[in-house]
Amino acid sequence: MTGFRSRIAALAGVATLALAGAWALAQQNTSAPAAPAAPAAAPAASHPQTQHPAIKTPPKAPAKPLWRELSAKQQAALAPLENEWDQMGPVQKRKWLEIASRFESMKPQEQQRVHDRMREWVKLTPAQREMARQNYNQAKKIPPGKKAETWESYLQLPEDEKKKLAEQATERKRGGATPPNRAAAAKRGPSTGAVVAACPAGTTKNALSATPPCVPAPA
């Protein structure tokens, strides 16, 4: 690129000098006046600015394999992901291909459940998908039966609840402050903030005032 720009600049300089020389030669061939005319000043050489072409970053090639490169069995197993497949990263594709390798051996009900999960995954927002990726390693430790139950419970949540879960996962990733312990806060008194101790035998909690905390129990 540098050599190309140098050649362009050199050609521009040669063209400027050639135009100046032709103009001087034309002045010499015209009839001279009675008094010798002062030599005309040569036009100032102009240096056209070289346009630097913008460097375009080539688009990132999609991760392999592409959808058209999958086998017929893989495409059947991953059918709900067809429109998303070529945009996925290599890690996501590898995980889905692992599921596709077991798809044919699954029972029809299980195959339907897997396809339902794929359709739900396609509907997830980027934040929700990020939450799913963060929880992947933890999910591997959950027994298969419990994992399916947890996923089904998640699918039944309203969309606003799913959004809240995704936002909470994003905040945790950003290193947000840990929320206070609600259980400990509930034990604190309404005004003093002190922990309320159990009332002695024969007394009961004062429901009208914070002090004294305990009053004699009614007979």
The answer to the question of residue 213 being in a domain is: no
pTM over 0.85? The answer is no
Residue 148 vs residues 110, 133, 157: alpha-carbon distances, Å: 10, 17, 15
Mean pLDDT, all residues of the chain: 69
Residue 15 confidence (pLDDT) above 60: no
Nearest to 65 by CA among 78, 46, 52: 78
Identify whether residues 118 and 148 lie together within a single domain: yes
Identify whether residues 115 and 149 lie together within a single domain: yes
Question: Comparing 111 with 205, which gets the higher pLDDT?
Answer: 111
The answer to the question of residue 39 being in a domain is: no
Identify whether residues 88 and 152 lie together within a single domain: yes
Which residues span the domain enclosing 4? 1-27+44-53
User: How many beta carbons lie within 10 A of that of residue 166, not counting itself?
Assistant: 19
Give residue 143's pLDDT: 77
Identify whether residues 128 and 157 lie together within a single domain: yes
Number of domains in the chain: 2
Long-range contacts, stretch 188-193, CB < 8 angstroms, 24+ apart: 189/213
Identify whether residues 83 and 5 lie together within a single domain: no
Identify whether residues 48 and 74 lie together within a single domain: no
β-strand partners of 203: 216
Give residue 134's pLDDT: 77
Question: Among 63-67, 73-77, 153-157, 202-206, whose mean pLDDT is lowest?
Answer: 202-206
The answer to the question of residue 193 being in a domain is: no
The answer to the question of residue 136 being in a domain is: yes
